[in-house]
Amino acid sequence: MGPTMSETHDFSAQNLFNIKGFVAVVTGGGTGIGLMATQALAANGAKVYITGRRMEALKNATKEHQPASGEGQIIPIGLCDVTKKEDLPRLADEVAQKEKAIHLLVCNAGISGPKAEPKHEDAEDLRSRLWDNEETSDWQNNYQTNVTAVYFTTVAFLLLLQATMRPKGPLEPYSASVLTISSMSGIMRHAQGHFSYNTAKGAIIHLTKLMSAEFQKAGIRVNSIAPGYFPSEMTAKESDDWQKSHVSEEKIQEKNHVPFARPGREVEMGMSVLYLAKNQYVNGEIIAVDGGVLNVVAGR
């Protein structure tokens, strides 16, 4: 058989998504979607370095969710505030002391920002509601964490990503990739009461496209997952002793725009992460995992 031909056993899920030997770095890896990504990667053989601003959350996530022996590994590494430029090369250096290369960078750290519901048709009411409930600093903080930090985190790890395909290395170009976590909120036209968050998430989506085209020249892929409602500290406002959050089906049903009438399941996020991590023929793609919301809310 030629190099592009595969035998049937090659199509088994464990072969398709086998990432034994992969090294990944996940920002905001101690809770929410970052932890879901971490578990999916570690369960399938990857060594996953998780970072964030709270060492307690990182250590707890590591302790509670370490995969069974013989699988991958979850390792907490350096406290890192992704909005501080000087923290990023320090984090990359810390990883470089342990690993020659990384195969996947998941830029997941994010914040939700202020809420100001624009419900009024009367311009005076509308103006006061929006003007009085938001500050320009809120917008700047939001953009700084959700967009600027994603860019600088990626740039800080470019050397380690490209190192997967050194002449001596086993992998071909595009085996290393970056996965940004954007949001369906960056695609829809409904402000959801948070103009600044949705604007920032729209910017991450465009940044992903820009980086995918520019970094393709360096042999690095960049894709994005745009989640709908998944249980995280952002949606649930808290996490439990296992660093997990809970969102009820009723809370999702109240929104009246989620056709599947439930939050996303953690494993559904995990499937999406593995697909983009492993499929070397996908670049610049934005995958909404949203329970059909974008079929109901204008945006596409």
Supply the residues annotated as catalytic: 182, 197, 201
Q: What SS3 class is residue 130? A: helix
- Do 48 and 32 form a contact (C-beta atoms < 8 A)? no
Say how many residues make up the chain. Answer: 300
- Do 87 and 81 form a contact (C-beta atoms < 8 A)? yes
Short-list 19, 87, 83, 31, CA closest to 56: 31
Structure tokens at 192: 């959801």
- Residue 271 makes CB contacts below 8 A (sequence gap 6+) with 40
- Do 189 and 183 form a contact (C-beta atoms < 8 A)? no
H helix or E strand, kind and range, residue 13: helix 13-16
In 33-134, DSSP assigns E strands to: 47-52, 73-79, 104-107
Place of tokens 């809120």: 138
Q: Compute the distance between CA of residue 35 and CA of residue 153 in angstroms, rounded to an integer.
A: 18
- Residue 48 makes CB contacts below 8 A (sequence gap 6+) with 23, 24, 25, 26, 29, 38, 41, 42, 72, 73, 74, 75
Structure tokens at 217: 């020249």
